[in-house]
Amino acid sequence: MNDGLRMVQTRTCGAWVLPGDPTCAGIARRLFRRVASELSLDGETSDDGVTMVSELAANTLHANQRQLLPANSELWLYLRGTGQRTELVCKVFDTLPGWVHGNVPGRTVRRAPADAMSGRGLEVVHELSDGHWGHHLTRSRLSGTGVRGKVVWFALPVPGNVKAGGMPPATAGDAMTELENDLSTRGFGGRLVRADDHAADMAVLSIASGLTVWCRSAAAWLRAPGAPAKHWGYCDLVEVGEQAVQAHETNIAAAGSFQLADASRTGSLTGSAQSRAVSRAVSRATGSRW
């Protein structure tokens, strides 16, 4: 395990392997507490986070033991949002397909019967996070090959004056390079098709399955087929990468196929003036039709 504290700043995501043995929850607690202290979280918020991360880590271990499969668990911590709306996002990744049984993360939870011996961990997460929790499909950050799995996550408010991870990217090209590097570590390396228009300070990245990210004027946009476009500032590039991977894995799962080879390599940007502008820029930059 990487026990050295990797600073969690804007635009970086701390990621650690969690062992598949009874030390799993204790190590997750220790790592969370150290990061919470670095971020100057108040005592109560930090204690709540420690309790929640402990529940999530213990759950991956139990689910793993039930299925007799290695869960390859990882702990991820990163900052989302800016100023007074900054939050610390905590995700526990595992490679177990789906949910074993019981409460599936969501906005509401079913209360465990009063005499139940188990089934309260996610109730606790729901209460302590004030409903800011959930789960989604994704890919490992540490395997280097994009191993598929899911995360269960929660988010906590943090003080607005947290450390910035260096200057924000100066150009769309720089921002896209950060995103491209992030996605490459998650197994998308050979699949990405990128085009830059430096004069227009614009960059477009086609991931797969019609999923496209484009950066322009200090904003990163994610377009997925059949979903409204979403956008973030460059301080949230970790979140953009997270959402792109989630959208990709969800699309693949919905299509009932896990063959990345089946996924389209080109994105289509149609339907809005901005999209057409990007298409034209990409055509200019690549000399081909988008």
Ligand X SMILES: Nc1ncnc2c1ncn2[C@@H]1O[C@H](COP(=O)(O)OP(=O)(O)O)[C@@H](O)[C@H]1O
Q: Which does 99 bind (CB under 5 to 8 A by kind): ligand X, Mg ion, none?
A: ligand X
Closest approach of Mg ion to the CB of residue 107, in Å: 19
Contact between 70 and ligand X per CB under 6 A: no
Residue nearest to Mg ion (CB): 121
**Binding piece for ligand X, criterion CB under 6 A, among 15-23, 112-120, 167-175, 276-284:** 112-120
Residue 102, binding choice from Mg ion, ligand X, none, Cβ under 5 to 8 Å by partner class: ligand X
Q: Is residue 59 near Mg ion by the rule CB under 5 A?
A: yes
- Give the range of 40-48, 56-64, 194-202, 248-256 binding Mg ion by CB under 5 A: 56-64
Question: Stretches 53-61, 102-110, 127-135, 150-158: which one binds Mg ion (CB under 5 A)?
Answer: 53-61
Beta bridge mates, 180? none
Which option in Mg ion, ligand X, none does residue 74 bind, with CB closer than 5 to 8 A by kind?
none
Which one, 120 or 265, has the nearer CB to ligand X?
120
240 Cβ contact partners less than 8 Å away, ≥ 6 residues apart: 179, 213, 220, 222, 232
* Spatial separation of the C-alpha atoms in residues 201 and 206, rounded to whole Å: 17
Which residue, 55 or 196, has its beta carbon nearer to ligand X?
A: 55
Q: Which of 1, 100, 164, 227 binds ligand X (CB under 6 A)?
A: 100
Encoded one letter per residue, x for contact with ligand X by CB under 6 A and - for no contact, window 26-65 reads -----------------------------x---xx-xx--
Q: Which is nearer to ligand X, 127 or 201 (CB)?
A: 127
Task: Retrieve residue 42's tokens.
Answer: 């108040």
Q: Which stretch binds ligand X (CB under 6 A): 35-43, 76-84, 95-103, 165-173?
A: 95-103
Among 19, 20, 119, 168, which residue sits at the site for ligand X (rule: CB under 6 A)?
Answer: 119
Distance CA 39, CA 35 (A): 6
Query: Judged by CB under 6 A, which of 1, 26, 85, 99 binds ligand X?
Result: 99
Mask 140-179, x = binds ligand X (CB under 6 A)?
------------x---------------------------
Least CB distance to Mg ion at residue 190 (A):
38
Binders of Mg ion in range 88-147 (CB under 5 A): 121
For the chain, what is the HEC assignment? Answer: CCCCCCCCCCCCEEEEECCCCCCHHHHHHHHHHHHHHHCCCCHHHHHHHHHHHHHHHHHHHHHHHHHCCCCCCEEEEEEECCHHHCEEEEEEEECCCCCCCCCCCCCCCCCCCCCCCCCCHHHHHHHHCCCCEEEEEEECCCCCCCCEEEEEEEEEECCCCCCCCCCCCCCHHHHHHHHHHHHHHHHHHHHCEEEEECCCCEEEEEEECCEEEEEECCEEEEECCCCCCEEEEHHHHHHHHHHHHHHHHHHHHHCCCCCHHHCCCCCCCCCCHHHHHHHHHHHHHHCCCC
Q: What distance in Å separates the CA atoms of residue 52 and residue 47, rounded to the nearest whole number?
A: 9
Give residues in contact with ligand X (CB under 6 A): 55, 59-60, 62-63, 94, 96, 99-103, 118-122, 152
